[in-house]
Structure 1
Amino acid sequence: MKRCKGFNLCPVDCRTGNALSLNYYEKTCPDVELIVTNAVKNAMMRDKTVPAALLRMHFHDCFIRVGVKTGCDASVLLNSKGGNKAEKDGPPNVSLHAFYVIDNAKKEVEASCPGVVSCADILALAARDAVVLSGGPAWDVPKGRKDGRTSKASETRQLPAPTFNISQLQQSFSQRGLSMDDLVALSGGHTLGFSHCSSFQNRIRNFNATHDIDPTMNPSFAASLRSVCPKNNGKNAGSPMDPSSTTFDNTYFKLILQGKTLFSSDQALLTSTVTKDLVSKFASSKDTFSKAFVKSMIKMSSITGGQEVRKDCRVVN
């Protein structure tokens, strides 16, 4: 079996060792990419939060089941059934949304070429489209993933938490064959979206025995967050990830340098020389960040190892 570390232009399915391919559906479903793009575009016209939701959904899919190397297998899309609580109902995933976009794309794909395209590939394509349609870089997505049959809410503990420090982040990413460069580049996905107060409450109240507020946070920024996040943690209160939270750009890295990011894990990128240098590099050049992001996205989204092509993304065959 091939290892999942160090793949470059030929990513592999970790379970089978089969190489993913850019032209995997060339003969069997040539219109798949157009169908998925249209589904994402249509959803975006009604809801500007869709791109951030799809990108986050893809990350959360790929980071689960490390030990058995299934990764990006669309397990995040499965519904809970009977006594089994699925990933989407695990604590870090209850705020995931826009599953209907994948359902809509799958329905159209099935009408065009039934039983051919995996939900995992549709999600990987949708995440790429989410970035492109938000003003970010484009890339060719390697395809040929299969869908997994296992989804457990308990395994969402494997996701990197917003409270992680640099060593916890490094460990989490290295377990998936991802480097410190990948860690910083992929963290740039935080340029899109919105966070609830619960994910950064630790930084704005009762930070530690000495400080009420995280001293690495810009004081006026902290004050603005305290004003939108009530002490009793209003359920839907929160903040955009950055002021241009519907545009894929490099603002996130500029904000890290100003102490104006939401998560401890964002600010942690300044606590290692390697990651701090990359933050500065990406803050000064959107193009440099975009190239690094594409490379790391292809690497992350190629960790896969499912068993089937689901007819319905929410249930196993």
Structure 2
Amino acid sequence: MINLEELSLSGARRARQRRSGAAWRRAGVFAASAAAMSLSSSLALAEQFVVLDETWDHLPTLADSHYRVDPPASAPTNWRSPVDYTSGTAYLHLEVLTKPTDEATKFQVCFEATPTYACTEQSPTYKTTGVVDWESPFSGFWSPEGESVDWSQGIRQIAVILKDTENGKPSADNVGAERAARFTPTRVRMVVTVVEPGSEYVPPGPVDPGAGGGGAGGEGAGGAPTEPGAGGAGASTSAGSTGSTGGGGSTAAGTPGAGGGEPTGQTPDPGASDDEGGCSLAPGRTSTGVAAWVALAAAAFFARSRRRS
């Protein structure tokens, strides 16, 4: 004989199980969506990356005055996707720690890529130790005539080139030892930060005092001393007013020189900044709040579903 009461209870249990299963399925969809939102939020925060942060002695023996390093493992392998950095700007931060003479000097950075290379604008001219900051939009990069970089393949190496104001590269192999000694050896730190369009640049912080020499892939790294009497680095870590003549603070912006080889570019005035943040993400913007909200919402949803079952 069919027990109607047991049949009714069994049906009620099955209904509860169906509701519970549906609730857990909805929770799974909710959790997956939340995870996707969190991942998307994290990707959206990748507004800039540091492609170079090196301290080295730029020696007269560096061939053609080029100091080369490999890009860091953290650099994108594709600079166009999912973020198109090539529509943005490279920000360059130069700390001149020692300098043999007051000879007018400049620096330029070139990205050696596929199938050619592209160079930033040159730095403002400087004559003393101190800090020089400048920016160079990708749209203003220089490449050999008729050639262009395929940024979707990333870059192979970075060349940092010391120059005079006539676009010459004063290494000993180019200009002789006597002329090269006017420029080198000089100890410098260079930081190159690539920022996507529409994002705010976060300047680098001070280097670890214990760090020294060149990084992986660098040439001419090490502790070769500068000439006696070279000035020490200034305390300032941001570009300041023009006309600096002392060893401290920031150097003055100069007039770009003309010449062959890599172009001089148009030199903007260095921009002052008091921000010493050195992270790749803008300070104060993290995905922690999103994750906490997701966890609380999921917990409340699960608790409500279990009460109903």
Q: TM-score, normalised by structure 1?
A: 0.24
Of Structure 1 and Structure 2, the greater helix share is in 1
Q: TM-score, normalised by structure 2?
A: 0.24
